[in-house]
Amino acid sequence: MPTHYATPDGFSPAECDRIIDVARLAPRQDARLVGANRDHNLRRADLVWLDGLAGAEWVMDRLIDIVRRANRDCFGFDLTEFAESPQIARYGADREGHFDWHSDIGEGPQAARRKLTMVAQLSDVGDYTGGALELRPSAHVHKADRGRGHVSVFPSYVLHRVTPVTQGERLSLTVWAHGPAFR
């Protein structure tokens, strides 16, 4: 089974701008971990949740289409829903934004049912330094493409991280597809 699915054209640059513009108008929250815990040593970012934001209604249809293709072409998981809102994460150098090694399956009613994680790169690679999305499905680390609009989809149990941003800011869009427990 492939460890991840990637497509360079999940979102056009203009669509990335539209998503960023909507997110900049919304109130941001300090990122937390599953269970609403906060640990700035593990994760330091600001979040905006897309559900209910005017101008973002079209985004979920695109996310569903991308995840459907990834699941069909690579994973074949039993998926039933998207039980959590998509989130825009801002990793800024002003806070040394990062998210250390973790998997997206966790305790809690939704996190326990996460099967696929989808991350879209919204920022231009020239807008920041650091901030690499790295996947560790085995002993080898894979760096996700940093191209604007690039999308990576991977099983939610795969270890991954965002390295510290040292200049500028990295914006990304994440959503999880849910289903019955793995067997």
Phi–psi pair at 22, nearest 5 degrees: -65, -45
Q: Please report whether residue 166 resides in a domain.
A: yes
Give every CB contact of residue 35 below 8 A, 6+ residues apart in sequence: 106, 107, 108
> Which two three-digit tokens encode residue 125?
């690679």
Domain count for the chain: 1
Q: Please report whether residue 96 resides in a domain.
A: yes
Q: Please report whether residue 163 resides in a domain.
A: yes
Domain that holds residue 77: 5-178
Quote the pLDDT of residue 3: 83
Task: Compute the mean pLDDT over every residue in the chain, rounded to the nearest whole number.
Answer: 91
> Which two three-digit tokens encode residue 183?
């067997």
Predicted confidence band of residue 41 (pLDDT cuts 50, 70, 90):
low
Predicted confidence band of residue 137 (pLDDT cuts 50, 70, 90):
confident
Using the predicted structure, report yes or no on whether residue 139 has a pLDDT greater than 90: no
Give the domain CATH number at 154: 2.60.120.620
Quote the pLDDT of residue 1: 65
Using the predicted structure, report yes or no on whether residue 165 has a pLDDT greater than 80: yes
Alpha-carbon span 70 to 154, nearest angstrom: 9
CA pseudo-torsion sign 135, 113, 153, 3: positive
Q: Please report whether residue 183 resides in a domain.
A: no
Q: Model confidence over 147-157: pLDDT tens digits?
A: 999 999 999 99
Higher-confidence residue: 166 or 42? Answer: 166
Alpha-carbon span 146 to 170, nearest angstrom: 10
Percent of the chain with pLDDT over 90: 74
Using the predicted structure, report yes or no on whether residue 85 has a pLDDT greater than 90: yes
Alpha-carbon span 26 to 51, nearest angstrom: 11
Quote the pLDDT of residue 92: 94
Q: Please report whether residue 48 resides in a domain.
A: yes
> Is the separation of the CB atoms in 122 and 90 below 8 Å?
no
Quote the pLDDT of residue 43: 82
Q: Please report whether residue 93 resides in a domain.
A: yes
Q: Please report whether residue 58 resides in a domain.
A: yes
Mean pLDDT along residues 23-32 = 81
Quote the pLDDT of residue 32: 62
